Amino acid sequence: MKHSPALQPGDKIGIAAPSGAVNRSHFRQGIKVLESWGLQPLFRKDIFTTHRFFAGSHARRRKELQGLLDHQQIKAVLFARGGFGLHHILPDIKLSGLKKYPKRLIAYSDLTMLLDRVQRECDLVTYYGPTIGLLAAPGHARVQRDYKTILLGQKLGPVWRLRPNQILKAGQVQGRLVGGCLSLINMSIGTRFEMEMRGAILCLEDINEAPYRYERLLLHLKQSGKLQGVKGLLISSIETGPKKSSATVWKRMLKEVLKDFTGPVVYGFSFGHLKNAYTLPLGARVQLDTRQRCLNLA
């Protein structure tokens, strides 16, 4: 799996909004951070358009994303918002331009299956991390640091530490790091965008899901056969609002559903829809080692 070239000050970055409607204030703050690093963010004037709960019509969003992926001078594509909407346009997105002009992509949530397509079809590492609205948000210093490393440096990591209370099952495994938002991964099953997980370390996260709903999603993943051949599981904490369930409830559920999973299982790793979350290199080869309590680039 290849890494696209790191950017240099002065390079152009494309900003797309292929999913939910964009918050202007958060967007502008993120743009200022990118500009402070000497980068040149480019985006369409109609990026704030709305159609129902989308960032404009399907045609607008499709044309915007396709244009950025094809653009020879753009060195990275970032995203203004997750939410929902990418799946309306994903079948029509072509990746031939991205193969010709490789770019660094950072996204999460609704963009899960786009990142996976890029890994499989372009042989490129992609990055699972928050959209640009969090770059300037209080309490998200790690997000800003990881973005800067991805865009102006070479690689993330190389080591992410685990706490003893995050380890549900012990083990040491190596494999490609794949995954993303569990509800979107489940949505892809039975489509041509279904994620290939065999031989991989699978990272899963979601937001505002009660334990019983998350259990339903995880059970479907298991009963569909998608966990067969998966080497290890890296599961994020789930935030469920003011009445969120305790870590004990989550761990009990996960241990029961995954009792016959043979690889290591970690719960509570900070990535995805969490405050100050890590950004992870999807497609990269990693090692999950619960004895050394770390995830590291292999």
Catalytic residues: 109, 205, 273
Q: Tell me whether strands 294-297 and 159-161 are parallel, antiparallel or unpaired.
A: antiparallel
Residue 72 C-beta-side C-alpha neighbours within 13 Å: 0
**Quick count: other Cβ atoms within 10 Å of Cβ 32?**
12
Distances 102 to 40, 89, 180, 222, 252 between C-alpha atoms, Å: 17, 21, 21, 34, 43
Q: Give the C-alpha separation, 201 to 208, whole Å.
A: 24
Instruction: Please provide residue 42's backbone torsions phi and psi, each rounded to the nearest 5 degrees.
Output: -120, 135
Q: What is the largest CA-CA distance in the chain?
A: 52
Q: Which two tokens stand for residue 145?
A: 């640091």
Distances 124 to 34, 57, 76, 101, 206 between C-alpha atoms, Å: 23, 29, 12, 11, 24
Asked if the peptide bond before residue 158 counts as cis, ω within 30 degrees of 0, the response is: yes
3-state secondary structure of 252: helix
3-state secondary structure of 131: coil
Residue 67 C-beta-side C-alpha neighbours within 13 Å: 14
